[in-house]
Structure 1
Amino acid sequence: MNILAIESSCDEFSISIMSDSKILSNIISSQIKDHSKYGGVVPELASRLHVENFHWVLIEAIEKSEIQLEDIDYISYTSNPGLIGSLIIGKLVAQTLAMYLGKPLKEMNHIEGHIYGANIEEKFIYPVLALVVSGGHTQIQLLEKPLDFKIIGTTQDDAVGECYDKVARVLGLEYPGGPKIDILAREGNKNRYVLPISKNDGTYDFSFSGLKTASLNLINKLNQNKEEINIQDFCASFQNTAIETLMIKFRRAVKELKPKTITVVGGVSANSSIRNKFYDIAREYNIEKVIVPNMEYCTDNAAMIAELTKEYIRTESKMED
């Protein structure tokens, strides 16, 4: 079974080809340099660049996979959530290919794709507890069986990645700010600046607007008082608070729901401190399996959509039998 998957929900256009559960190609066209001068993703620019770039992404994905286009059995694409213009470009490319080849077309969910991106190189042992952390989403999802997605906790306002980027911008760091904060934090004193942990209650839900506002207010106050900001210490303090906000809720979910697998997915899962914390939690609660995806599968990519598509096809096939 050969699957061609497309991911275009934001500022990356990616095409992946999977054959018999193996990823043969996963080509990603990134637009970070194009958007960095604006301090964030410009939706209209993102969709326009997708139109300019999809053809070479498709050609490279086919060439690297060494699969003939005519041998593709299924076409899939990200249908939601994401930037409308970017999603439409991916949909049009997928529809055109499916019509030309006369093959089935399948719509996939971006968040579900991120979760199954962790299932590419290692396999889930259910139940699975997943922490989804990205620029637009912060969730805890429970899967008691394949494709059984249950959102048990979500952000009530800003996503954690969005919070990182906004604080980084005020600190004068270039977009995307999250990775730069992570690097600077490694050299800083996490106890130098005091920042609040928001929504520390009995739920699994998150809030990052309070941390964002407190961080921006503290930066402004220090600047007004002409006090020098130690950027490494500030990044370390901010990151420690942001990650502790995530871990308080996730630890509670692990303790109460007792999953066999824990995983962290999404763009922010590339953060070194978060990755280390997951191994600590696995040891603390004797979790059978911890999956921290390869960096290639953390950011938006089509391989995760191919893996999700494969799981849906497999489930549909079992139901028919």
Structure 2
Amino acid sequence: MRVLGIETTCDETSAAIVEREEGSGRVLSNVVLSQVKKHAAYGGVVPEIASRAHVDALDRIIQQALSEAGLTLDEMDGIAAAAGPGLIGGVIVGLTTAKALAFATGKPFLAVNHLEGHALTARLTDNVAFPYLLLLVSGGHSQLLAVKGVGQYQRLGTTIDDAIGEAFDKVAKLLGLDYPGGPEVERVALKGDPTRFSFPRPMVGRPQPDFSLAGLKTAVRIEAERIAPLTDKDVADLCASFQKAVIDMVLDRVRVAVQIFTSQHGTPKALVVAGGVAANQAMRRQLLHLADSLRVPLIAPPMDLCGDNGAMIAWAGAERLALGQHDGLGFAPRARWPLDMDAALPGARA
């Protein structure tokens, strides 16, 4: 089974082809075009610029993905696109293109939840069995989910304000670092002292594994203003101390989530970390130590599959198609689309 996947929910234009055979997956192509340079001057993603860039690039990216896989559209078994959550303009571009291709070729169309793409990537790369615990950490999402099967997700915890990746970007901007901020904070933190500043660890010790980053972000701002003007050493120490506080919070939240998961579903088959922040090497190392102590394997996608990409969308589409599922061409784009609709509380992040 071969599926074309399209991803345009934020500032990456991506198309990929994956092959699924007897539950195992293989990436035949995965073309990702970053828009970082287009948004760098603004210090963040500008939705209108992003959507226009998707329009300009998507046809070419799809053709490149097909060419690299050595396949044609007629050889696809399905056409998948991320239908949300995300920046609605970009979502519309990818979704409309996928619908047009599905209509023209007569292939099944699959509207994929972007979060489900992240949730199932470990099955593409490592053939992880259900059920497993997912730590989803990106610029827009911070969640802990029990992944019980394709389409079966239980949200155990979420952020009550900023997402982790968003907080990294905002701290980077506050400290005058380049965009995108997350990798810059990680790079500069390598030169810093993580013990110099005593930042709060929000939510640590709470019985529900939720996250909160707003107070920590404010604490960094207050400390930076107190010692201004900042030297390079000050910036490095602030980054290291901030990153250490985030990681400590994440480790505590994961411990709580594992306890809840185990009480409800038994020991998870794995702890899976996915999303753009999963590329943070300091966080990966600490999660590996935690997973070892809990005697649960840690599965983290390769770096090129941590961020937004078409392969994860194609794979989620293939998983659903294997179960006989597909969607109508009237499927509407969604700016918000929680994986666990029962847990979508007012004010909570999708």
* Distance (whole Å) between structure 1 residues aligned to residue 211 and residue 315 of structure 2: 28
Q: Report the residue type matching 2:27 in the other structure.
A: I
Tell me the TM-score normalized by structure 1: 0.94
Q: Is the 8 A contact 1:118 1:297 kept in 2?
A: no
User: Per the alignment, do residues 146 and 92 of structure 1 end up closer, same or farther by CA in structure 2, a change over 3 Å counting?
Assistant: closer
Displacement of 1:278 after TM fit? 2.0
Please name the residue that 1:220 is paired with.
Answer: 225
Aligned match of 1:149: 153
The answer on whether the counterparts of 2:17 and 2:314 sit within 8 Å (CA) in structure 1 is yes
Alpha-carbon distance in structure 2 between the residues aligned to 1:101 and 1:49: 25
Residue 4 of structure 1 aligns to which amino acid in structure 2? L
Aligned residue pairs total 314
Q: CA deviation at 1:314?
A: 1.9
Q: Is the 8 A contact 2:19 2:26 kept in 1?
A: yes
Which of 165, 168, 177 matches 2:169? 165
Moved over 4 A (4+): 226-229
Alignment-mate amino acid for residue 246 of structure 2: A
Q: Which residue does the alignment assign to 1:276?
A: 285
Q: 1:246 aligns with which of 247, 250, 256?
A: 250
- 1:12 paired with 2:9, answer no
Q: Distance in 1 between matches of 2:244 and 2:130?
A: 30
- The residue type paired with residue 263 of structure 1 is V
Matched, 1:302 2:307: no
Conserved in 2, the CA contact under 8 Å of 1:255 and 1:285? no
- 1:42-53 to 2 correspondences below 5 Å: 42-53=46-57
Alignment gaps of 5+ in structure 2: 326-350
In 1, the alpha carbon distance for the partners of 2:238 and 2:58 equals 40
Checking the alignment, whether the CA contact within 8 Å between 1:129 and 1:254 is kept in structure 2 is: yes
Question: Taking every aligned residue pair, what percent have the same amino acid on both sides?
Answer: 39
- State the match for 2:212 in structure 1: 207
1:210-258 Cα offsets, whole Å, 9 max, x none, are 01111111111211xx564622211110000011111111012223423
Moved more, 229-238 or 34-43: 229-238
Give the match for residue 339 of structure 2: none
Please name the residue that 1:259 is paired with: 268
Instruction: Find the partner of 2:70 among 59, 66, 70.
Output: 66
Q: State the partner residue of 1:292.
A: 300
RMSD, aligned α-carbons = 1.4
Over residues 181-235 of structure 1, what are the superposed CA-to-partner deviations in whole Å (9 max), with x where a residue is unaligned? Answer: 1111122111001111112211111111101111111111211xx5646222111
TM-score, with structure 2 as normaliser: 0.87
Change (3 A) 1:71 1:198: same
Distance in 2 (CA, whole Å) between partners of 1:189 and 1:217 is: 18
- Which amino acid counterpart does residue 215 of structure 1 have in structure 2? V
Rounded Cα–Cα distance in structure 1 between residues aligned with 2:290 and 2:203: 21
Question: Is 1:132 paired with 2:136?
Answer: yes
Separation in 2, partners of 1:126, 1:59: 34
- 1:315 corresponds in structure 2 to 323
Q: What residue ranges of structure 1 are gaps of 5+ in the alignment?
A: none
Q: Does structure 2 retain, via aligned residues, the 8 Å contact 1:154–1:204?
A: yes
